[in-house]
Amino acid sequence: MDAFLLQILNGLDKGGAYALIALGLTLVFGTLGVVNFAHGALFMLGAFVAVSVQNLLTISKKVKDESITFFDAYKETPYLEIWWGDTGTALIDYAVPISIVIAIPVMLLIGLAVERGLVRHFYKREHADQILVTFGLAIVLQEIIKANYGANPIPVGAPDIVAGSANIGALFGIEGLVYPWWRMIYLLFSLAIIAGVFAFLHLTTFGMVVRAGMHDRETVGLLGINIERRFTIIFGLATIVVGLAGVMYTPILPPDYHMGMDFLVLSFVVVVVGGMGSLPGAVAAGFLLGILQSFFSMNEVKSILPGIDQIIIYLIAVIILLVRPRGLMGKD
């Protein structure tokens, strides 16, 4: 029972990341009709917003390390700690939550710049052209990050208060069942963001116009509504969503310049399984594939089907595309 619960939780927190990335990807495809291969790179940029904030907060004064006698070594003490003592330490500790606030305007600006500067020129071009240009953009963004931050992963910690594990076994009467706090926070965060995006699209006039535009762009345009401008804002919104997913992921996995590519292929599988352009489909597929990946990594399964954990997501994608060519929630 406890092994089952752990795998469910593990699948849900993985699924949360997949769903957030796929949600942005689907938003862009559903509104603008653009297959955005730079979406993974935007996830990576979000993570590097957290790295940059951490670097900024830990700008340090170098002091000679007297314990090293063979050569001149230096200890680094952050100026924030020198100036503000414990308050400075607490600010550094909360680098990731602070990054969330900073990432919203930063990612919005990046999203608008990408859409206005590049992607809008490819709205009426074939998908192959869109894929080529956005994939090229992803490589350029990667190389910029590599040149400035190096190739190695950079650890970014969660605040100390949530760095450990929660005793979730107490909720189910199972002794010793624990799960990392930050992973549960990530799951709740992704659910909140998904709910926020759905509420925005369904409960606001702006969202209704966008949804109408997704169904019939021409008719909405004939009504005198500037649908293009709204779609630009949606691109910005998708960039914020994927950027926040990246910021929040940094305590789970130290970010490096390549992390976007690692998630990109998975996210496209999620979108295709969910149904291209279907927002609920992307979310459902994200969680479904996260849970399946987690379960198929269990020893009981791997002992029967060795290596299944590596291929299960793609296997499911093949089966679903054979049975439902438009995906789980795609419309004919």
Partner 1 sequence: MTKNSKTTNESRRDFLKITAVGGLAASAPMIFMKNAHAYVNEPKGATVTLGFNVPQTGAYADEGADELRAYKLAVKHLNGEGDGGLLNTMKPLSLKGSGILGKKVQYVTGDTQTKSDAARASAKRMIEKDGAVMITGGSSSGVAIAVQSLCQEAGVIFMAGLTHSNDTTGKDKRKHGFRHFFNTEMSGAALAPILEKEFGKDRVAYHLTADYTWGWSQEGSIKKYTEALGWKTQSAVRTPLGAGDFSQYITPVLNSGADVLVLNHYGKDMVNSLTQAVQFGLRDKQVNGKDFQIVVPLFSRLMAQGAGENIKGIFGSTNWNWSLKDAGSQAFVKSFGAEYGFPPSQAAHTCYVQTLLYANACEMAGTFNPCDVIAALEGFKFDGMGNGPTEYRAEDHQCFKDVLVVRGNENPSSQFDLLEVVDITPRAKVEYPASMLGGDLGSCNA
Binding site for partner 1 (CB under 8 A): 2-3, 6-7, 10-11, 13-14, 65, 67-68, 70-75, 151-153, 155, 163-165, 176-180, 182-183, 252-254, 258-259, 262, 293-294, 297-299, 302, 309-310
Nearer to partner 1, 109 or 265 (CB): 265
- Sign, CA torsion 30/31/37/42: negative
Give CA–CA dist 54/38, Å, rounded: 25
Nearer to partner 1, 85 or 155 (CB): 155
Nearer to partner 1, 160 or 228 (CB): 160
- In DSSP notation, 228-295 reads HHHHHHHHHHHHHHHHHHHHHHTTTS---TTHHHHHHHHHHHHHHHH-TT-HHHHHHHHHHHHHHHHH
Nearest distance from C-beta of residue 149 to partner 1, angstroms: 12
Q: Which residues contact 77 (CB under 8 A, 6 or more apart)?
A: 60, 61, 63
Nearest distance from C-beta of residue 146 to partner 1, angstroms: 8
Nearest distance from C-beta of residue 252 to partner 1, angstroms: 7
Give CA–CA dist 308/291, Å, rounded: 14
Give CA–CA dist 48/152, Å, rounded: 13
User: Tokens for 156?
Assistant: 């970014």
Beta-ladder partners of 293: none
- In DSSP notation, 304-330 reads HSTTHHHHHHHHHHHHHHHH-TT-SS-
Nearer to partner 1, 67 or 205 (CB): 67
Nearest distance from C-beta of residue 54 to partner 1, angstroms: 14
Nearer to partner 1, 75 or 121 (CB): 75
Go through 170-181 and write b for each residue having 16 or more CB atoms within 10 A of its CB, e for each that does not.
eeeeeeebebbb
Nearer to partner 1, 120 or 165 (CB): 165
Nearest distance from C-beta of residue 242 to partner 1, angstroms: 18
Nearer to partner 1, 174 or 191 (CB): 174
Beta-ladder partners of 78: 60
Nearer to partner 1, 33 or 157 (CB): 157
Beta-ladder partners of 165: 180
How far from the centroid of its chain's Cα atoms is residue 9's Cα? 18
Q: State the maximum Cα–Cα separation within the chain, in Å, rounded to a whole number.
A: 77
Nearest distance from C-beta of residue 239 to partner 1, angstroms: 23
- In DSSP notation, 61-82 reads EEEE-TT--SS--EEEEEHHHH
Nearest distance from C-beta of residue 294 to partner 1, angstroms: 5
Nearest distance from C-beta of residue 36 to partner 1, angstroms: 23
Nearest distance from C-beta of residue 148 to partner 1, angstroms: 15
Nearer to partner 1, 112 or 168 (CB): 168
